[in-house]
Structure 1
Amino acid sequence: MVKSRQWLLANKATDLPTYSSENPNFKLTETDLPDPKDDELLVKPIYLSNDPAQRGWISTEADPHRLYVPPVEEGEPMRARGLCEVIESKSSSHSKGDVVFANCGWSEYFVVPAAQCQPAPDLGGGMSRTLYLSAFGTTAMTAYFGLTEVANITKDDIVVISGAAGATGSMCVQIAKKLVGCKRVIGIAGSDSKCKWVEKLGADVCLNYKSSSFAEDFRKETPAPDGFANVYFDNVGGEILDLVMTRMARFGRIAACGAIANYNTTSDKATGLKNWFEVIQMRLQIKGFIVLDYIKDWPKATDVFKKMLSEGKLEIEGGEHLVETKFEDIPKTWLLLFDGSNQGKLITALK
């Protein structure tokens, strides 16, 4: 039996989650874990993936009948995926000392079924294993399938990408420009420095949505009629989605990936859409998707990314925001997702 500290969900969240208030959403505790049984592993998280989707799993409005994964229930460890070291193995498929992907949660140690863990061998060439969470990870898969399968982008398209400096958006920029060769790629990010990085990744232009002239600048970059956007990869929803809809070309396609603008508010206070008629008059197609819909094809996408990397078409420098974190500060690092401070993939590196 192993003692393990865990961050539990104490209360479901209605707005920005807390871990140190009088009535926190997360609570640090210690528990005794059972010994692993046959075909189970005892693992220790090394790196944790931080994803906006986790916010939806702890919402007071989360309807288990409509979520694509079960919500985290109060009293359970906060769920997360990460790279973990195998401390003890009762499985022939993994050995002590191996590094694996696992649904480990915010737990110092975790017992997991071996069948639910994937090997994460050394990538070689001096590359960090953290690339399994960033350039080769779930967010990269989201970018790839959202653009190629949902939006069906072509080299003739003008593509707009919100959250372009984030983990998914930064991969979208490179896929659209360097892999598909789209005619024009317009990024949207939250600071001038992030915009410069997005342009370095390949965007023709990147606009700072916090600028007072953002709406005007965006209209100038999407002039009628030939400069209208054919594709919008939407990571944020809210007012930016509302604006982009007014600059979409006829028969434009919108891949609805996320809505982080409204994640930390209840539905009655969420920003709504004023320009919905654009969907009708411009015959727009809006398609929501979850990357798990394409999981059987992930190996194919991984091969594409490795080829891009070998050909110098995939920029990984600056694409990870690694934060060295004490176990007791895990929620603090996760909350960086919602203040716009991270560039690229936000990864918790446990001390």
Structure 2
Amino acid sequence: MTRSREIQLAARPTGLPGPETFRLAERELPPPSQGEVLVQIRWLSLDPYMRGRMHEGKSYVEPFRLNEALDGGVIAEVIESADPGFAPGDLALAHGPWGEYAVLKAAGLQKLPRGSRVPPQAFLSVLGMPGMTAWTGLNRIAAAKAGETIVVSSAAGAVGSLAAQLAREKGLRVIGVAGSPEKCAQAVADFGCDACLDHRGKEVKQLSKEIAEAAPHGVDIYFENVGGTTLQAVLPRMNNFGRIALCGAIAWYNDPSAAPPASHVWLPIIQKRLRVEGFIVSDHVAFRGDFLSEVVPLVEAGKILWHETVAEGLDAAPEAFVGLLEGRSRGKQLVRIR
């Protein structure tokens, strides 16, 4: 038997999760059965969508269960295998617990290439779910074209930073919005933005005025990760028949009542005949090969950059997750387990 520590959901939070939301527990894992592998988790991905899974209500993904381990994307090393496709030492991308070890079905693991120049944790960020989300929103939802202008919210985040860089590669003018002067500076210096606007502490009218100055010919595409003030500010600047790729609204995850009145959103959409499409990246897994064939060479050539915020050790995961929701992390929030 293998003993493993894990982070469980102890209580469903109201507002921002606090220490009472999480519990550190220990359990014994049996040896792997046929078709399973015992893995040691090396890297854990923390993502904003996990806040929604802490609610009990129905959504596009099953909620976390009370008194059971939270889960998400992980990079894991195979320790013991009962499947011919995996051997000890193999690294794999998987869905696993916030924990130190796990017994997983081999069929659900994606083996990582040996000897790759890309670090393994990149398959949780720029080459993982956030990267695929950015690529999907830009290409399959917004159908971005050279010469257009795009505004990307959370432009220094895991999704937004890649959306901005891919838009730059396609020949778009890229306006980023981020939550601090430091993040904006990075969005311009590293992530391909022609300009980046700091939304912190600004009223809608002020931010909207700055968007108009940065995009004098209007905005053709808005890549929406945040909601909040940025959404209200960008809508009046959208060109007729513009497109909005809607993949997140982190500004409202802890307090849905903070969302603006519906008329402030729907009326500009009607008046400008905008096409708004919400999307979940898991609906587009059939196109993962297309995503990787485009982005892996750019990453290997150094044309795509990404940033990681790394918390050390399983015990640090809860506070790192709260920091992610509060905007304290830059780029992809990861936890290095071992």
| Same fold flag (TM > 0.5) | yes
Query: What SS class does the counterpart of residue 243 from structure 1 fall into?
Result: helix
- Change beyond 3 A, Cα 1:310–1:330: closer
Q: Give the aligned partner of residue 165 of structure 1.
A: 156
Following superposition of structure 1 onto structure 2, how do residues 1-351 of structure 1 map, counting pairs within 5 Å? Answer: 1-19=1-19, 24-60=20-56, 62-63=57-58, 67-125=59-117, 127-178=118-169, 180-182=170-172, 184-200=173-189, 201-212=191-202, 215-222=205-212, 227-265=217-255, 267-273=256-262, 274-316=264-306, 319-323=307-311, 325-351=312-338
Q: Which has the higher helix share?
A: 2
Query: Aligned equivalents of 1:280 and 1:270: distance in 2?
Result: 19
Deviation at 1:123? Answer: 4.9
The farther-off stretch of 68-77 and 289-298 is 68-77
- Change beyond 3 A, Cα 1:226–1:206: closer
| Structure 1 residue ranges, 4+ long, deviating more than 6 angstroms after superposition | none
- Change beyond 3 A, Cα 1:251–1:341: same
Measured against aligned partners, the alpha-carbon deviations of 1:267-310 in whole angstroms (never above 9, x if no partner) come to: 44544442421111110111000111110111221111122234
Measured against aligned partners, the alpha-carbon deviations of 1:169-199 in whole angstroms (never above 9, x if no partner) come to: 0001101012x111x1100001111111101
**Contact conserved, 2:195 with 2:214, CA < 8 A, in 1?**
no
- Change beyond 3 A, Cα 1:226–1:340: closer
Query: Aligned equivalents of 1:268 and 1:156: distance in 2?
Result: 38
**Contact conserved, 1:246 with 1:275, CA < 8 A, in 2?**
no
Deviation at 1:338? Answer: 1.3
Report the residue type matching 1:322 in the other structure. Answer: V
Query: What SS class does the counterpart of residue 71 from structure 2 fall into?
Result: coil
Gap runs ≥5 in structure 2: none
Query: Aligned equivalents of 2:195 and 2:160: distance in 1?
Result: 14
Gap runs ≥5 in structure 1: none
- Change beyond 3 A, Cα 1:115–1:247: same
- Change beyond 3 A, Cα 1:70–1:224: closer
Query: Aligned equivalents of 1:209 and 1:269: distance in 2?
Result: 16
Report the residue type matching 1:75 in the other structure. Answer: N
Query: Aligned equivalents of 2:43 and 2:84: distance in 1?
Result: 24
**Contact conserved, 2:73 with 2:124, CA < 8 A, in 1?**
no
Measured against aligned partners, the alpha-carbon deviations of 1:134-178 in whole angstroms (never above 9, x if no partner) come to: 221110100001011101111121100001010000001101012
Query: What SS class does the counterpart of residue 276 from structure 1 fall into?
Result: helix
Query: What SS class does the counterpart of residue 168 from structure 1 fall into?
Result: helix
- Change beyond 3 A, Cα 1:216–1:260: same
Report the residue type matching 2:181 in the other structure. Answer: D
Measured against aligned partners, the alpha-carbon deviations of 1:225-244 in whole angstroms (never above 9, x if no partner) come to: 96211100000112221221
Paired residues in the alignment total 336
Deviation at 1:313? Answer: 2.5
**Contact conserved, 2:155 with 2:164, CA < 8 A, in 1?**
yes
TM-score where L is the length of structure 1: 0.90
The farther-off stretch of 7-16 and 144-153 is 7-16
Q: Give aligned-pair identity as a percent.
A: 35
**Contact conserved, 1:123 with 1:129, CA < 8 A, in 2?**
no
Query: What SS class does the counterpart of residue 74 from structure 2 fall into?
Result: strand
